[in-house]
Structure 1
Amino acid sequence: MSDDAVPAQHDAPAPSRRTVLRTTAGVAGAGLGIGAIGGAPAHAAAAAPAGGAGTAGRAAPPPRQGATMAGVPFARRSTVRVAVVGLGNRGAGMLDLFLAVPGVRVTAVCDPVRDKAARAAARVAAAGQPTPAVYANGEHDYERLCERGDIDLVYVATPWELHFPMARAALLNGKHVGVECPVAMALDELWALVDLSERTRRHCMQLENCCYGRNETRVLRMAHAGRFGELLHAAGAYNHDLRELMFSPTYYEGPWRRLWHTRLRGDLYPNHGFGPVANYLDVNRGDRVVSISSFGTPALGLAEYRAAHMPPGHPSWKEAYIGSDRTVSMLRTAKGRVIRLEHDVSTPHPYSRINSLGGTRGVFEDYPARIYLEPDHADHRWGDFAAYAEEYDHWLWKEHANPPGGHGGMDYLMVYRLTQCMRLGLVPDFDVYDAATWTAPVPLSHASVRAGGAPLEFPDFTRGEWRRGRPGVDSERPAEA
């Protein structure tokens, strides 16, 4: 059936905004103390110690307010109507990809910088679509945008502190929402999004592009085919020298990203490393993370860079950096597996997401990609990972060998797959539980670093649903693409 022949359908009516607000009030933060850091608008989780004498003090997950969103499909629709909120470097680039995917129409754009919003609207019109509505009347105009009736998906690409209120506004207005990393910055915010997604029956997704990388999807399929044997350990990272960009007067809209290094000590950006390896280990789909212990180095890199490159009187000289130059977190799962996460954007080094997976039959390590599997390899010499492409490449990569867009094409495949699921009425490849899980190391690593690396309990955002195996990114190709 052609896309034009698919009758337009709509998601089931969401509960009223008043009902949702009333039933979620006061629940998200129960037993999950949070507090501002040095007066800054950031939060730290006061999580209970994991194991030992601290076990008795663990707070149970807050009671579920609605039905699970695990395995809930989108309503089928002929066209996916998208609103883009945030039109800086990331949002503007992703706008082009939404315009490149068949069956997608951009109906609204939003940015407090009016010129950016106007340029985005012009690009939509130049692509042959109707000129979208423009929302550029201050920092809160996204709230009016979310009230529109012609939006199916709100895409959020703004500074991190805005992710939670924007996702919240979208859900309360009956919209699905896809958020750039991280989905929120505090533990109570993550629980609030879980509750809102369940109450509103709308999906809240962390749009983690690295989950669609060619290497990542190939390793995922090999892991599920048993090529690594019983899985034992994995590692992921965001080790990316961002010093020049964080001090650039033009790359970011203001110093917001640099300022987070004055507020939190831990892993500010775990998602790129954590998302793919969580998929390998079926986290939330047969296993779950139960504890995290984080360690951080002194915070020296940004101050040293500032001394070498910033003139006297630059606003950054008023900033005191506390964010560890390198954070290392060790996560333990219910099945006894170990995950290592790293974060370092403040010191000179080549880019790496580590991206490794090990089991009883071998190991994969990325940057550069290399593999060692029994019985394929011997003599303790790395093998050629490319040799596994024909058999194990994901169907998305086989159908889109040279996808457009940045990051090697993974951005396009993420947008393509998400909107495909929405058009065909499929279950999304990841959901609000994945979003909360992949982001939880932000507040938890900060709390653990401050506590000298003490292991902390990792919340079960699924409330027990993780025991049920279910598909994820390693999806079957739909018969009707």
Structure 2
Amino acid sequence: METSRRDFLRKTGLGVLAASPLSVYARTPDELLSIEQQAQRTPPQAFNMCGYAAPKLDVVRVGIIGIGNRGMGAVERLNKLEGVEIRALCDLRAERVNLAKQKVAASGHKPETYSGTTEIWKKLADRTDLDLVYILTPWAYHTPMAVFAMNHGKHVCVEVPAAKTLEECWQLVETSERTKKHCMMVENCCYDFTELLTLNLARNGFFGEIVHCEGGYIHNLQELAFSKNHFYQLWELDEMAKRKGNLYPTHGLGPICQVLNINRGDQMDYLVSMSTNDFVLGALAKELAAKDDFYKPYVGKPFNGNMNNSTIRTKKGKTILVQYDVSSPRPYSRLQLVSGTKGVVLKYPEPARYSTGHEWMTESEYKALETKYMPPILTKMGEIAKKVGGHGGMDFLMDWRTIDCLRNGLPLDQDVYDAALWSSVGPLSAWSIAHRSNSIDVPDFTRGAWLKNQPVDISMTKGGTTGAKV
């Protein structure tokens, strides 16, 4: 299995990229300096993709790359949407694409399947009968596949994070601008019901001037990370063994950026980051290796620290705290806090709590608030999304909304600047940690366009015509 991964990296050029001076895995001072230089880049903007509406698509013809844990879920969700044709499926493992093909056959989909070699995905992305390529692979393949697909005339949906290096972030941005193809990072947490209500409240002035926000990803993945069956070829454990910092920032960060109008009225300015040592993963690897030789290669690895805290200041003087911990025995949390001059919301532990004073609202007060400010997208699709499922329905709501925007010629809720900016926290946090938590400038991927870009609107004031087969 390890040989097939190395072969893939070599053939696609990813192995060269991972060893380049621009890599976030860099450890020498000169290599780390190059990350700082990447943060200062300001190439000219070829075309502003914020607010861009591509031509309408009566039917969205989709190819899916990566039929693993997330990929199979995407197949099942897209299978329930009207106006979608699943035309191609790809995974290294033939059994996965065959299983996915069986799942969609009853709905009339007859996808071509691609499997067996490390470059077979290029044949899918090169097809002339696809409008959208949906990428759900391990992180290292996200940017190369997305860039290739856009260069071959396809819109792209790509799992989180969209990029691992600043160089990759810029590749996504410059390719999307040049090709005028959407590159949406499918950050499902932006479609969480509480986060959508919070965004609508922010748009209606409930919080006043928003001052500080917190988000994160606290999820105990000890068992899954070391599982021989969950993450194919233990790819996520490998990420934890070779990278430092906030490796997975977008779940907590995405909804916050939308609330703060980041890239659309405000912009990140600089970041500082600090991590603990690893007190869990190394010990667990040693314990498992004593019972199973399979885990011996992980003994002595310099695993990422257990808790990372990254703090961001915006151009308008707002602050954001983003936390990341996937190895401590803690209950799940995305640490959603929005604090303004007039109100506050805090989610986790659930249910979410709202306040405009010294006390949290009572249940009846919250219900009245929810009724008054319920976003139309939840009124129309909320119950349907819950029935379909996927993290409580937010996965389906995200896919429904994306397909509906493509079919109605509407801008997507998340554009390539969001994909690049939210993902950039990973390599920027690595730089800051390596420099004793000094600050580093955050690149402006919009190149000043954030001053005039309009805030994102997920209220479904337009569109809403796509049906669901539930």
Q: Which runs of 5+ in 2 are unaligned?
A: 1-16, 466-470
Please give the TM-score of this superposition, normalised by the length of structure 2.
0.88
- In structure 2, what is the equivalent of residue 119 of structure 1? 99
Q: C-alpha distance in 2, partners of 1:141/1:206?
A: 23
SS at match of 2:79: helix
Give the superposition deviation at 1:47.
4.1
Q: C-alpha distance in 1, partners of 2:130/2:112?
A: 11
- Map 1:347-426 to 2 at 5 A: 347-367=328-348, 368-374=350-356, 377-378=357-358, 380-384=359-363, 385-402=366-383, 403=385, 404-426=388-410
Q: C-alpha distance in 2, partners of 1:309/1:388?
A: 50
- In structure 2, what is the equivalent of residue 266 of structure 1? 245
Give the counterpart of 2:58 among 73, 78, 87.
Answer: 78
Give the superposition deviation at 1:382.
4.9
Distance 1:97 1:44, change over 3 A: farther
What's the CA shift string for 1:43-80, capped at 9, x where partnerless?
9674449xxxxxxx97341223x211111102111111
Distance 1:360 1:100, change over 3 A: same
Give the superposition deviation at 1:473.
4.2
- Map 1:203-218 to 2 at 5 A: 203-218=182-197
Distance 1:318 1:294, change over 3 A: same
SS at match of 1:426: coil
- In structure 2, what is the equivalent of residue 436 of structure 1? 420
8 Å contact kept, 2:404–2:463: no
Give the counterpart of 2:438 among 454, 467, 477.
Answer: 454
Q: C-alpha distance in 2, partners of 1:338/1:470?
A: 21
Q: C-alpha distance in 2, partners of 1:382/1:452?
A: 41
Q: C-alpha distance in 1, partners of 2:215/2:380?
A: 27
- In structure 1, what is the equivalent of residue 73 of structure 2? 93
Give the counterpart of 1:171 among 150, 168, 191.
Answer: 150
- What amino acid does structure 1 have at the position aligned with 2:436? G
- In structure 2, what is the equivalent of residue 222 of structure 1? 201
Q: C-alpha distance in 1, partners of 2:460/2:316?
A: 26
- What amino acid does structure 2 have at the position aligned with 1:281? L
Q: Which has the higher helix share?
A: 2
Give the counterpart of 1:293 among 272, 282, 285.
Answer: 272
Correspondence 1:236 to 2:218: no
What's the CA shift string for 1:226-249, capped at 9, x where partnerless?
111111000100000001001111
- What amino acid does structure 2 have at the position aligned with 1:83? G
Q: C-alpha distance in 2, partners of 1:234/1:277?
A: 7
8 Å contact kept, 1:108–1:132: yes
Q: C-alpha distance in 2, partners of 1:246/1:316?
A: 12
Q: C-alpha distance in 2, partners of 1:343/1:189?
A: 22
Please give the TM-score of this superposition, normalised by the length of structure 1.
0.86
Distance 1:258 1:387, change over 3 A: farther
Give the superposition deviation at 1:126.
2.4
SS at match of 2:389: coil
Give the superposition deviation at 1:474.
3.2
SS at match of 1:255: helix
Q: C-alpha distance in 2, partners of 1:451/1:311?
A: 35
Q: C-alpha distance in 1, partners of 2:197/2:148?
A: 36
Correspondence 1:160 to 2:139: yes
Q: C-alpha distance in 1, partners of 2:143/2:131?
A: 18
8 Å contact kept, 1:45–1:186: no
Q: C-alpha distance in 2, partners of 1:84/1:154?
A: 6
Q: C-alpha distance in 2, partners of 1:350/1:46?
A: 38
Q: C-alpha distance in 1, partners of 2:222/2:463?
A: 46
Q: C-alpha distance in 2, partners of 1:363/1:107?
A: 45
SS at match of 1:440: helix
8 Å contact kept, 1:285–1:468: yes
Give the superposition deviation at 1:305.
2.5
Give the superposition deviation at 1:96.
0.5
Q: CA RMSD in A?
A: 2.1
Distance 1:209 1:480, change over 3 A: closer
What's the CA shift string for 1:129-161, capped at 9, x where partnerless?
2x1011113111111111111111100000000
Distance 1:244 1:310, change over 3 A: farther
8 Å contact kept, 1:214–1:394: no
Q: C-alpha distance in 2, partners of 1:248/1:386?
A: 42
- What amino acid does structure 2 have at the position aligned with 1:411? D
Distance 1:336 1:36, change over 3 A: closer
- In structure 2, what is the equivalent of residue 339 of structure 1? 320
- What amino acid does structure 1 have at the position aligned with 2:25? I
SS at match of 1:254: helix
Report the count of equivalent residues.
436
8 Å contact kept, 2:208–2:342: yes
Distance 1:269 1:357, change over 3 A: same
Distance 1:47 1:147, change over 3 A: closer
Give the superposition deviation at 1:37.
3.4
Give the counterpart of 1:37 among 1, 25, 30.
Answer: 25
- In structure 2, what is the equivalent of residue 108 of structure 1? 88
Q: Matched residues, percent identical?
A: 36
- In structure 1, what is the equivalent of residue 3 of structure 2? none
- In structure 2, what is the equivalent of residue 26 of structure 1? none
- What amino acid does structure 1 have at the position aligned with 2:351? A
Q: C-alpha distance in 2, partners of 1:348/1:44?
A: 32
- What amino acid does structure 2 have at the position aligned with 1:417? R
Distance 1:422 1:381, change over 3 A: closer
Correspondence 1:321 to 2:302: yes
Q: Which runs of 5+ in 1 are unaligned?
A: 1-28, 50-56
8 Å contact kept, 1:87–1:116: yes
8 Å contact kept, 2:246–2:323: yes
